[in-house]
A and B are shown apart, each in its own frame.
Chain A
Amino acid sequence: MAVLEFRRAGLTGRLQPLDLTIRLGETTVLLGRSGAGKSSLIGLCNGSLLPDEGSVLWQGHDLNRCRPAQRRQIGTLWQDLRLVEELTVLQNINTGALGRHSLLWGLRNLLQPLEPELGDVLLHQVGLSNGLRDQRVSGLSGGERQRVALARLLRQQPMLTLADEPLSALDPRLANDVLNLLLDQSSCVISLHRPDLMHRFQRVLGLRQGELVLDAAPSAITEATLAWLYSEG
């Protein structure tokens, strides 16, 4: 079942118009050199960027006209994390649930972080101690912040998970844990700089100079194809 469709959607100077369908239950990795257009494609997928031409549809509806209730079905692990620095770990995790609750719930979360038990479960899931629960995220290390952002994503329970370079700042063991958690989500599109991990996905999309040049199963991709994808010029 198609959840996200690109219909000749493009961004002038960054991403050439492309047709693409992301299906439910499918895990997809996005490969390409820096500046190839991976972040732009993720931006179009979550609606933070608007296509200059064509359209992006979420479950058949124009993504940019979708109501918040529909948009909360797409979750993103941002490259720069985008946590609210002044809030605590638990308050940040709870922001993942704001779309499902009332304004009053959100205000109460600002006064006193809500549902600490659920927060503890998520912290455990992402490998963080629940002692961090009431700390401000501004005081955490890079790896800890990354996992708080992941916990927020898990709290959101999205239908489609997007992640932009989620492993770049992590040590190998932690990177493996984070990737496992992301792949446990029902559907995901993850941009990576690690072609060696592509066999863990069902589908590989390759971008080169803003153009989608590869869309295949990992088993169909040769070393030569990867070398060309990462070559200059």
Chain B
Amino acid sequence: MALQRRLKPAPVLVALAPALVVLPLGIVLLRDLHGGGVEQIGRFWLAALQPSLDPTLLKHQLAELQITALTALLAWSLSSLAGLLLGVLSSTTICSTLTGRRWPAVVLRRCLAPLRSIHELIWGLLLLQLFGLNGWVAVLAIVLPYSALLARVLADQLDQQELPALIALRCAGVPAVINLFTSLMPPVAAALRDHIGHRLDCALRSALLLGIFGLGGLGTELMLSLQSLRFRELWSGLWLMALLLALMNLVIRRLSARHGLLLLTLALPLVTLLWSHRLNHDLSLPRWIQGAPWPPWAQLRDGLTQAWVETPWLELVGRTLLITVLASGVAIGLPPLLRLIAPDDGPGRMLKAGWLLMRLLPPPLTALLLMLASKPTLAVAALALGLHHSGVMGLVLEDGLERVDGRHQQAMVALGAPRRSAWLFGVLTPASRRYLAYAAYRSDVILRDTAVVGLVGGAGLGWQLMEALSSFHWPQVGWLILVYAVLTLLGELASEQLQERA
């Protein structure tokens, strides 16, 4: 107890300490490094400054980019509409106001949990097996987890609201439905608009990621460019994607001001269907692929038992968790560490540009890039995932630092503190609690994303899932998805508790 009382690190140290994982990761990477690969990585970064401007290539990439955008927009619109409906239905406050019972909302919430716990990439690969290559596969792969996620966010927001206005209007004889719209919806509207807007950015990245795994669009092109080491072509595509992301963020910001976002989500399904027709992109109704008949129960039971016994669960789960811990360490610890090394505004702006680049690069591409110079190891998978998420965390940190009152740092300087110490105590310390609260949520996302790098990096449950899918080992696929879902839900629970503490 005495020891526990003494070891109570300040939040700012908790934010910096995870960067220690960079050391073991660096050692492993240096051990496996080979010279030829380092040269390729150098070429890759140089190509960022000299992307290919070949008109034929750009025209082709623009067409593929449209497919990515179309997939993302359609998925975003459908998941927003479905998420809003499911969120209202799974709010215990709304349910108890309308029906006098909480349990239907609780049951619905539990049913939605597995949908959001499975990564869109896994949904994509599963749906691909069931329906074959069809535009709807990528759309549905995004819609399923995103609607469940939005539903949870909305239900949580609604249930966290103070209820005085609701009670006041109920006592004034206002009917339940309009009372809910009037007293509960306006307080959650701003947060909801922000979340829905942010989801469009996520949907674009997901659509790109699904493309990398063969579901069409720009992602597929980027993967082909990387595999043939055509880095300048790769960067043309990446810069186009960056432009699209910036454009979409601008549109969302403009539309968020009034009710434009709602109108956009309502109009998009029709617009995208017409657009797909123009692009010759197949959005016809997907048809179930007729496979082998459903096996008898005894055979199925034996298959499931055998798959459970033959899978090395401890090792797979352990490796997945290790990737999560290492990647979280990089993602959370690297931004404040680098900022501490360069606390001035000039280098800060350069770092911000670096975070934007990291966020732009999908983790599988980073993993493949690292594998040009190293062996496929757990460290590569963790670093690729960690670097991508450090881009996100770096931007969150910069946003937090901008909000800090400059007088704290001035006070530290007046006290005679050195430049870095003044920044650490006067700027990073006040910003660290909010940063850590977001970091807890990000670790939860990283756990979900281990599926993505696992598929590439040859480690953990993600890798095993890819193997099982390729060999049509359905009992094992079933178990792996179940274990992934349970792990993600446990991670979600843990991150919620961490966020409450932060």
28 A-B pairs (CB sep. < 8 Å): A46-B171, A48-B170, A70-B173, A73-B173, A74-B171, A74-B173, A76-B168, A76-B171, A78-B164, A78-B168, A82-B164, A82-B165, A83-B165, A84-B186, A86-B189, A86-B190, A87-B182, A95-B169, A95-B182, A95-B183, A98-B182, A99-B172, A99-B174, A109-B182, A110-B186, A111-B259, A156-B172, A158-B172
Instruction: Give the CA-CA distance A156 to B181 in the complex, in Å.
Output: 18
In the assembled complex, which residues on chain A have CB atoms less than 8 Å from the CB atom of B186?
A: 84, 86-87, 110
Contact B169 A98 (CB under 8 A): yes
Contact A98 B174 (CB under 8 A): yes
B residues 186-227 near A (Cβ < 8 Å) are 186-187, 189-190
Q: Closest 4 A-B residue pairs measured CB to CB?
A: A72-B173, A82-B168, A106-B178, A71-B173
Apart from the given pairs A46-B171, A85-B165, A85-B187, 12 other A-B contacts in the complex at a CB distance below 8 Å: A47-B171, A48-B171, A70-B173, A71-B170, A73-B173, A75-B172, A82-B164, A82-B168, A86-B187, A98-B178, A99-B173, A109-B182
Contact A99 B175 (CB under 8 A): yes
Whether, in the assembled complex, A224 has its beta carbon less than 8 Å from a beta carbon of chain B, the answer is no
B residues 33-91 near A (Cβ < 8 Å) are none
In the assembled complex, which residues on chain A have CB atoms less than 8 Å from the CB atom of B173?
A: 68-74, 99
A residues 67-109 near B (Cβ < 8 Å) are 68-76, 78, 80, 82-87, 95-96, 98-99, 103, 106-107, 109
Contact A96 B172 (CB under 8 A): yes
Contact B181 A107 (CB under 8 A): yes
In the assembled complex, which residues on chain A have CB atoms less than 8 Å from the CB atom of B279?
A: none
Q: Choose among B169, B181, B185, B187 the residue with the greatest number of A CB atoms under 10 Å from its CB.
A: B169
In the assembled complex, which residues on chain A have CB atoms less than 8 Å from the CB atom of B266?
A: none
Whether, in the assembled complex, B107 has its beta carbon less than 8 Å from a beta carbon of chain A, the answer is no
Instruction: Give the CA-CA distance A13 to B147 in the complex, in Å.
Output: 46
In the assembled complex, which residues on chain B have CB atoms less than 8 Å from the CB atom of A98?
A: 169, 172, 174-175, 178-179, 182
Minimum CB–CB distance for A25 against chain B, Å:
21
In the assembled complex, which residues on chain B have CB atoms less than 8 Å from the CB atom of A73?
A: 173
| Range for the number of chain A residues in contact with chain B | 20 to 34
Instruction: Give the CA-CA distance A103 to B187 in the complex, in Å.
Output: 19
Q: Known contacts being A48-B167, A82-B165, A103-B178, is A76 close to B172, with CB within 8 Å?
A: yes
Minimum CB–CB distance for B258 against chain A, Å:
9
Contact A82 B178 (CB under 8 A): no
A residues 188-219 near B (Cβ < 8 Å) are none
Contact A71 B164 (CB under 8 A): no
Binding site for B on A (CB under 8 A): 46-48, 68-76, 78, 80, 82-87, 95-96, 98-99, 103, 106-107, 109-111, 156, 158
Query: How many A-B residue contacts, CB cutoff 8 Å?
Result: 80
Instruction: Give the CA-CA distance A101 to B472 in the complex, in Å.
Output: 59
Contact B175 A103 (CB under 8 A): yes
Minimum CB–CB distance for B325 against chain A, Å:
40
Instruction: Give the CA-CA distance A95 to B189 in the complex, in Å.
Output: 18
Q: Known contacts being A106-B181, A106-B182, A110-B181, is A84 close to B165, with CB within 8 Å?
A: yes
In the assembled complex, which residues on chain B have CB atoms less than 8 Å from the CB atom of A87?
A: 182, 186
Whether, in the assembled complex, B177 has its beta carbon less than 8 Å from a beta carbon of chain A, the answer is yes
In the assembled complex, which residues on chain B have CB atoms less than 8 Å from the CB atom of A110?
A: 181-182, 185-186
Instruction: Give the CA-CA distance A214 to B467 in the complex, in Å.
Output: 82
Instruction: Give the CA-CA distance A74 to B174 in the complex, in Å.
Output: 11
Instruction: Give the CA-CA distance A99 to B292 in the complex, in Å.
Output: 60
In the assembled complex, which residues on chain A have CB atoms less than 8 Å from the CB atom of B171?
A: 46-48, 71, 74, 76
Instruction: Give the CA-CA distance A74 to B165 in the complex, in Å.
Output: 16
The digit string for B401-441, where 1 denotes a CB below 8 A from any CB of A, is 00000000000000000000000000000000000000000
Instruction: Give the CA-CA distance A72 to B183 in the complex, in Å.
Output: 16
Q: Choose among B175, B183, B187 the residue with the greatest number of A CB atoms under 10 Å from its CB.
A: B175
- The closest CB in chain A to the CB of B190 belongs to A86
Instruction: Give the CA-CA distance A26 to B345 in the complex, in Å.
Output: 70
In the assembled complex, which residues on chain A have CB atoms less than 8 Å from the CB atom of B169?
A: 95, 98
Minimum CB–CB distance for B189 against chain A, Å:
7
Instruction: Give the CA-CA distance A111 to B186 in the complex, in Å.
Output: 11
Minimum CB–CB distance for B466 against chain A, Å:
47
Contact B174 A95 (CB under 8 A): yes
Instruction: Give the CA-CA distance A82 to B182 in the complex, in Å.
Output: 12
- The closest CB in chain B to the CB of A162 belongs to B171
- The closest CB in chain B to the CB of A72 belongs to B173
- The closest CB in chain B to the CB of A94 belongs to B182
In the assembled complex, which residues on chain B have CB atoms less than 8 Å from the CB atom of A75?
A: 172
Identify B183's interface contact among A70, A84, A103, A156, CB under 8 A: A84
In the assembled complex, which residues on chain A have CB atoms less than 8 Å from the CB atom of B167?
A: 48, 82
Minimum CB–CB distance for A84 against chain B, Å:
5
Instruction: Give the CA-CA distance A83 to B165 in the complex, in Å.
Output: 6
Instruction: Give the CA-CA distance A84 to B167 in the complex, in Å.
Output: 11
Minimum CB–CB distance for A44 against chain B, Å:
11
Minimum CB–CB distance for B182 against chain A, Å:
6
Instruction: Give the CA-CA distance A110 to B177 in the complex, in Å.
Output: 13
In the assembled complex, which residues on chain A have CB atoms less than 8 Å from the CB atom of B183?
A: 84, 95
Instruction: Give the CA-CA distance A110 to B170 in the complex, in Å.
Output: 18
